[in-house]
């Protein structure tokens, strides 16, 4: 009589079940770790995508500053307003707009805009707000007005488009996000020439 014909002993069955149990526990733990890692990476990518989108919108805004309406530029430490072109990400029938970038009272970085018309409108155009980021305590803007004359960043510029604009975002306490200062040069006439 062979071993297959007589069957398995109780000890052999217990060993086989213990090994099978260890394999199942290892597989479950591996799947659990994989799911947790997947969620962590997905969350990090979402955060990075939000910051990357804000970065692109800010660059598009600064590059789209209208050279014709230079006198409309008003840069403060906590906000900036100018006539420019809306980024393609913002749905609008007309691309030219009066734009303001500032932090709202409920800690959102907002792009506030109204359509810009060359003539005085008969009806006041509606103001639209587009949320760029949440959980923002403040923004700190600074300006380099003239590369030939200025020796340091200025906290306010009015009436002229500066050569460089620096944006620093301060997130609320406890928010782990970090965004390095962003420095952008307005592209007047689309090629960097100054009027």
Classified as helix, coil or strand, 108 is strand
Identify the pLDDT of residue 149. 66
Task: Render pLDDT for 41-78 as a digit per residue (tens, 0 to 9).
Answer: 887 777 777 788 888 888 888 887 876 655 688 999 99
- For residues 21-30, average pLDDT: 93
Q: Quick check: 175 and 135 in contact, CB under 8 A?
A: yes
Q: Write phi, then psi, for 24 (nearest 5 degrees).
A: -65, -45
As a dihedral over the C-alpha atoms of residue 103, residue 158, residue 62, residue 47, rounded to 10 degrees, the angle is: -20
Identify the pLDDT of residue 107. 94
Q: Rounded distance, CA 150 to CA 153, Å? A: 8
Q: Is the pTM of this model over 0.85?
A: no
Task: Render pLDDT for 109-146 as a digit per residue (tens, 0 to 9).
Answer: 999 988 877 666 667 777 888 888 889 999 999 998 77
């Amino acid at each position: 009589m062979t071993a297959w014909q007589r069957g398995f002993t109780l000890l052999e069955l217990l060993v086989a079940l213990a090994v099978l149990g260890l394999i199942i526990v290892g597989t479950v733990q591996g799947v659990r770790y994989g799911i947790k890692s997947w969620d962590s990476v997905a969350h990090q990518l979402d955060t990075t995508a939000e910051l990357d989108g804000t970065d692109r919108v800010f660059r598009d805004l600064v590059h789209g500053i209208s050279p014709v309406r230079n006198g409309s530029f008003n840069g403060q430490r906590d906000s900036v307003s100018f006539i420019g072109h809306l980024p393609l990400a913002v749905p609008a029938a007309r691309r030219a707009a009066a734009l303001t970038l500032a932090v709202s009272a409920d800690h959102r970085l907002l792009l506030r805009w109204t359509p810009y018309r060359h003539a005085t409108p008969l009806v006041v155009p509606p103001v639209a707000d587009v949320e760029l980021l949440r959980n923002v305590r403040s923004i700190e803007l600074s300006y380099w007005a003239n590369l030939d004359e200025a020796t340091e960043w200025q906290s306010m510029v009015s009436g002229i488009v500066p050569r460089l604009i620096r944006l620093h975002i301060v997130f609320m306490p406890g928010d782990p996000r970090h965004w390095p200062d962003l420095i952008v040069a307005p592209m007047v006439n689309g090629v960097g020439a100054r009027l």
